[in-house]
Chains A and B, each alone.
Chain A
Amino acid sequence: MTSKSLLGALLATTVLATPVFAADKQHPTTGEALAHDQTFTYRVLDEQSSVDPQVVEDVSGSEIVRDLFEGLMNQDADGNLIPGVATGYTTNAEKTVYTFTLRKDAKWSNGDPVTANDFVYAWRRATDPELASPYSWFMEIMSIQNVSEILAGEMPTSELGVRAVDDYTFEVTLSAALPYFAQMTTHATTFPTHQATVEKYGKEWTRPENIVSNGAYVLTEHLPNERSVRERNTMYWNNDATIVDKVVALVINDENVAFTRFQAGELDRTEIPSGQYPRLSEEMPDKVLVAPRLCSYYYNVNLTETGNPALQDVRVRQALSLALDRDIITQNVTAGGQIPAYTFTPGATAGFEVPDSEAAGMTQAERDAKAMALMAEAGYGKDNPLDLSLVYNTSEGHKKIAIAASQMWKQKLGVNVELSNQEWQVFLQTRSNAEYEVARAGWCGDYNEASTFLDLVQSGSGYNDSKYNNPEVDALLAEAKTMDDPTANYTAVEAIIERDVPIIPIYHYTINYMMDTDLGGWPVNNVEQNWYSRDLYKIAE
């Protein structure tokens, strides 16, 4: 018998020997027939930084952590807040004390109950200068009492404003009211950790052989730079509702190779390779998934004296913004279904109303005419051209956009743009030191609320790379922090941004996935793309 037919014979026996009971199973709500093999395999670009909730700092790592651990609150398919380990919460009138009631049936993967003390331990750990979590800033923007002092090493972590009232009541005291606090507890940094395990194994506690977690899955295999595998956690309180048994994340650096492997059926999900969206959305429309994300692509304008003096003139900034044809950029340059942006905050953000933007309502011809008029008013034109430099971090995609932008500025406004690219780390330094004139930037929201974007234009923000300083904006944003409904303030700030142009919004990102048609339950409408494998299912083909 040749090796090939031997293999075939073996396969045949295995198939025959396996009972086929799973084939009749149906999804409880949609009624779709479920596949026998409930394995979800997807591509990640890079190895995750960690699966330690308090340490993880990258998107793909957080995706794994969301499966392995469960925080106080979760999100549903639309991004709404639903109970996690906590069944609910109450706040005091000032919204400075949040009290979470924890479910009594939540267990760690070793059978221990999940208690309020696990959250106290984890939250203190996240702020511990000794752990030096790169995401401890997230605890700081949660405004928990004493967090800044603890991070600065002036107070012990025991002074953090968190308390286990009893085993199933967790209380948080804030230094300032924060209406969206509960939403922030869906973030990985706030997930509980098992103290005994962390203390026993030190930094090696996250290895598959040591890890104890409380989410719907446990980590069963981790081969750095190759794959990590998580499998159903039988101790999870809602394990009965979990459908996908096994989730495999494969590290594939090259997007084209990933796409080839997707076509070969090795992956259920990968990213659409850049520039291929128009072709693929025609050839295999049922596998192309595009949905808005909480991310914006924009240009920073340096408003300090180290920038271009001409950019101090608001008319020049307005003209530059108006002359950018976002439709051409999104349809012909990025060509990935991106959404043209006239505001910094994406329209998909919860509780955000897009202001009545004058520019968004005009045709591009009208915008161009207005841009030319403004530029002429400011004293620049084809006879007296403005010289401008535009810097971006080295990437084919950014380069294409920069070339398109410079052409639009050149043709319409006669601006001579000098393009330059810098390696990522150099670029970050250039931008934060304000050693540029116009610089490429991108920002993704940390939580689904407009302040995660608009805080960037606050004069005191460390991320305000344009060095924009407008007391009116600062006041509106400060007031928004304690308002029941800050929507009007956010809309007002966006209107000011459109007038002052400290930044030039270009487009809002979209998720661009190739998704196998037999994968169900993907939360397309969750703009933060916080997906949980336990909500997914494989449909029988």
Chain B
Amino acid sequence: MISYIIRRLLIAIPTIFILIVASWALMKVAPGGPFASERPIPPVILANLEARYGLDQPEWKQLWDYFYNIVVHFDFGPSFKFKDRDVNDIIAQGFPISLTYGFLSFLAASIVGIGLGVTAAIRHNSWVDYSAVSAGIAAQALPNFIMGPILILIFTLYLGWLPGGGWNGGQWQYLIMPVIALSTSFMGSISRIMRSSMLEVLNSNFIRTARAKGLPERTIIWRHAMKPAMLPVVSYLGPVFVAVLTGSVFVDMYFSTGGLGQAYVNSALQRDYSVLLGVTILYGTLTVTVNLITDLAYAWFDPKIRF
């Protein structure tokens, strides 16, 4: 197990390295640059700007300096667009916000999704099942960029219950709509996966044996059926976790939360190279880590899996 973790971590390093180099290359291949605008900057001033940010150096040198500063100083460089902040500032400010409502959305999606799926499976082919399935499909068909405007219309304009956006240090009034918008479609998917997986497990031999032994249904579900039924859900939850964090782009846009997703998209559009790379590395590292955790979780849920 330990050696497996170490092996995985060792693979993660070149993975992230390749990610950085590939992002760097793609970024540089894209036309334009951080200082291009409707009004072209005179060459002399452009040269001053490029010199200030080291863009006048050869590409290999820029890449080398970039790695050097990250490894030695943990410094991801200055933002080209926001002159009074650097990438570390931008991530330190935006990531906790994305993480907060991302994590809450993840919890909401998993708890409600799993609950809905299990309930539907237990009451198979009853009205409970049908309504849970319908709710799941409806939720799945509502991506966050649809949910956002609808929620604001209902809760802000018509009912006047919640502020239409902002963060305000993460007060609950400001969290409700982002979390609902972000979790709904994942909730739908999780409930459907949970339901079918639970149905399959409930029809398997060992559950029939347990029933024949006369075990109470509650024990059967929670002690015996739950763990194996969770496996497909767990493999789905890993990507969901990364997706709620990176999928914050729309939530940030609609609810002005100030999260990292917005900074990410804007940095790509404005060719703010350092911010774009910094956030890519963060998301990349996050993906690798979450995948590792998901793989380890398999072993806990399914004793047959050994590393």
| Interfacial residues, chain A to chain B (CB-CB below 8 A) | 46-47, 49-52, 55, 57, 129-134, 136-137, 140, 148, 151-153, 203-207, 223-227, 250-254, 256-257, 260-261, 263-264, 266, 424-426, 428-429, 432, 442-443, 462-463
Is B72 close to A, CB under 8 A?
no
Complex alpha-carbon distance, A140 and B43, angstroms: 13
Contacts of B165 in A (CB 8 A): 250, 252, 257, 261
Could you tell me the distance in whole angstroms from the C-beta of A194 to the nearest C-beta in chain B?
15
Could you tell me the distance in whole angstroms from the C-beta of A391 to the nearest C-beta in chain B?
13
Contacts of B259 in A (CB 8 A): 225
Contact B164 A226 (CB under 8 A): no
Interface string of B70-98 (1 = CB under 8 A from A): 00000000000111110000100110000
| Interfacial residues, chain B to chain A (CB-CB below 8 A) | 30-33, 35-42, 44-45, 48-49, 51-52, 81-85, 90, 93-94, 148-149, 152-153, 156-157, 160, 163-167, 252-259, 262-263, 266, 269, 271
Could you tell me the distance in whole angstroms from the C-beta of B76 to the nearest C-beta in chain A?
15
> In chain B, what residue has the closest Cβ to A444?
B38
Contact B153 A424 (CB under 8 A): no
Of the candidates A52, A136, A463, the one whose C-beta lies within 8 Å of that of B45 is A136
Contacts of B83 in A (CB 8 A): 49-50, 52, 55, 203
Extra 15 A-B pairs, beta carbons < 8 Å, given A153-B48, A223-B93 = A130-B48, A131-B52, A132-B52, A134-B45, A136-B48, A137-B45, A148-B44, A203-B83, A250-B165, A250-B256, A252-B256, A425-B32, A425-B36, A428-B37, A432-B40
Contact B84 A207 (CB under 8 A): yes
Could you tell me the distance in whole angstroms from the C-beta of B33 to the nearest C-beta in chain A?
7
Contact B263 A266 (CB under 8 A): no
Contact A224 B164 (CB under 8 A): no
Of the candidates A133, A136, A257, A264, the one whose C-beta lies within 8 Å of that of B148 is A257
Contacts of A432 in B (CB 8 A): 40
Contacts of B163 in A (CB 8 A): 266
Contact B32 A428 (CB under 8 A): yes
Could you tell me the distance in whole angstroms from the C-beta of B202 to the nearest C-beta in chain A?
42
Contact B32 A206 (CB under 8 A): no
Complex alpha-carbon distance, A223 and B257, angstroms: 10
Contacts of B37 in A (CB 8 A): 57, 428
Given A55-B83, A425-B32; A463-B49 close (CB under 8 Å): no
> In chain A, what residue has the closest Cβ to B253?
A253
Complex alpha-carbon distance, A137 and B39, angstroms: 10
Please list 27 pairs of residues, one from A and one from B, whose beta carbons are closer than 8 Å in the complex, sorted by A's number: A47-B82, A49-B81, A49-B82, A52-B83, A136-B48, A140-B45, A151-B48, A203-B84, A223-B258, A224-B93, A225-B259, A225-B263, A226-B166, A226-B257, A250-B256, A252-B256, A254-B253, A257-B148, A257-B152, A257-B254, A260-B157, A261-B156, A264-B157, A428-B38, A432-B40, A443-B38, A462-B42
Contact A132 B48 (CB under 8 A): yes
Complex alpha-carbon distance, A257 and B147, angstroms: 12
> In chain B, what residue has the closest Cβ to A50?
B83
Given A224-B93, A260-B152; A426-B31 close (CB under 8 Å): yes
Could you tell me the distance in whole angstroms from the C-beta of B56 to the nearest C-beta in chain A?
11
Of the candidates B33, B38, B164, the one whose C-beta lies within 8 Å of that of A442 is B38
> In chain B, what residue has the closest Cβ to A201?
B84
Contact B33 A261 (CB under 8 A): no
Could you tell me the distance in whole angstroms from the C-beta of B65 to the nearest C-beta in chain A?
18
Contacts of A254 in B (CB 8 A): 149, 253-254
Taking chain B's interface residues, is the majority helix, strand, or loop, or is none over half, making it mixed?
A: loop
Contact B45 A462 (CB under 8 A): no
Contact B258 A266 (CB under 8 A): no
Complex alpha-carbon distance, A270 and B141, angstroms: 31
Contact B94 A224 (CB under 8 A): yes
Contact B254 A55 (CB under 8 A): no
Contacts of A47 in B (CB 8 A): 82, 266
Of the candidates A131, A252, A263, the one whose C-beta lies within 8 Å of that of B157 is A263
Contacts of B45 in A (CB 8 A): 132-134, 136-137, 140, 151
Complex alpha-carbon distance, A296 and B41, angstroms: 20
> In chain B, what residue has the closest Cβ to A128?
B48
Contact B40 A428 (CB under 8 A): yes
Contacts of A227 in B (CB 8 A): 166, 256
Contact B156 A137 (CB under 8 A): no
Contact B36 A429 (CB under 8 A): yes
Contacts of B255 in A (CB 8 A): 257
> In chain A, what residue has the closest Cβ to B90?
A224
Contact B167 A425 (CB under 8 A): no
The 4 A-B residue pairs with the shortest CB-CB distance in the complex, in nearest-first order: A425-B32, A226-B258, A261-B164, A225-B258
Given A203-B84, A204-B84, A257-B152; A425-B33 close (CB under 8 Å): yes
Given A52-B84, A204-B84, A225-B94; A46-B266 close (CB under 8 Å): yes
- Most A CB within 10 A of own CB, among B31, B52, B152, B165: B165
Contact A266 B164 (CB under 8 A): yes
Contact B84 A206 (CB under 8 A): yes
Contacts of B48 in A (CB 8 A): 129-130, 132, 136, 151, 153
Complex alpha-carbon distance, A203 and B256, angstroms: 25
Of the candidates B85, B90, B164, the one whose C-beta lies within 8 Å of that of A264 is B164
> In chain A, what residue has the closest Cβ to B265?
A253
Contacts of B81 in A (CB 8 A): 49
Could you tell me the distance in whole angstroms from the C-beta of B177 to the nearest C-beta in chain A?
11
> In chain B, what residue has the closest Cβ to A43?
B256
Contacts of A207 in B (CB 8 A): 84
Contact B52 A50 (CB under 8 A): no
Contact A256 B149 (CB under 8 A): yes
Complex alpha-carbon distance, A86 and B299, angstroms: 75
Complex alpha-carbon distance, A117 and B296, angstroms: 65
Contacts of B32 in A (CB 8 A): 424-426, 428-429
Of the candidates B36, B84, B256, B269, the one whose C-beta lies within 8 Å of that of A225 is B256
Complex alpha-carbon distance, A133 and B46, angstroms: 10
Complex alpha-carbon distance, A253 and B258, angstroms: 11
Could you tell me the distance in whole angstroms from the C-beta of B180 to the nearest C-beta in chain A?
15
Contact B156 A425 (CB under 8 A): no
Contacts of A132 in B (CB 8 A): 45, 48-49, 51-52
Contacts of B49 in A (CB 8 A): 132, 134
Contact B52 A225 (CB under 8 A): no
Complex alpha-carbon distance, A480 and B41, angstroms: 24
